[in-house]
Amino acid sequence: MPPPPLRPAGPDDILDLARLQIASWRAAYAGLIAPATLDGLDFARAAIRWQRAIDDGLRVLVAAEPALLGFITMEKDEISMLYVAPDRWRRGIGRRLLQAALASLKEQGRGEAGLWVLSGNARARAFYQAEGGRLTASGLVRVGTQELPQVRYVWNLAAPTVPEG
């Protein structure tokens, strides 16, 4: 199957972004985030947040064939979200999105890009390590009623360390 093309998100993607984000959260965070928090994820509220984010100019890149299969968001030099549809995990979509985002940040003259991930999110951590992320920090993040450990991965964009794929 050819890899899905990437493009910037637009207003027509808002409902699909909300849907994919909730599905990916529930699949990725079961056992990490309290069931009450995951059960409480609300599609209408998520859609409103996406509407605001798109209106405010959040940079979002989507992989779509045309059904939405994944997305990544960039805020200054931070990768703030990266989600792939659970039934398409491990098919190279996350890699394409991350590499495109890193290339775009580099093009803007950013020297570094980074992101935070829950310490217990072994799948994502294996992915970031495979994609050349450097573990640089740890901390805590509030998710619903929980305080969870998180770690930070950073990519040096000034050096040619982003793997090609």
Give the one residue of 38, 53, 121, 157 binding ligand COA; rule: CB under 6 A: 121
Compute the least distance from the CB of residue 2 to ligand COA, in Å: 15
Which amino acid, 3? Answer: P
Q: Quick check: 4 binds ligand COA (CB under 6 A)?
A: no
Which residue lies nearer to ligand COA by CB, 15 or 27? 27
Which residue lies nearer to ligand COA by CB, 15 or 32? 32
Contact 118, 32 (CB under 8 A): yes
Token match 């039934």: residue? 87
Cross-strand pairs, 8: 61
Compute the least distance from the CB of residue 108 to ligand COA, in Å: 21
Q: Quick check: 68 binds ligand COA (CB under 6 A)?
A: no
What DSSP state is assigned to residue 159?
A: T
Token match 């050349």: residue? 132
Round to whole Å and give the CA distance between 81 and 49.
13
Give the one residue of 46, 74, 93, 151 binding ligand COA; rule: CB under 6 A: 93
Longest dimension (CA), the chain: 43
Compute the least distance from the CB of residue 92 to ligand COA, in Å: 5
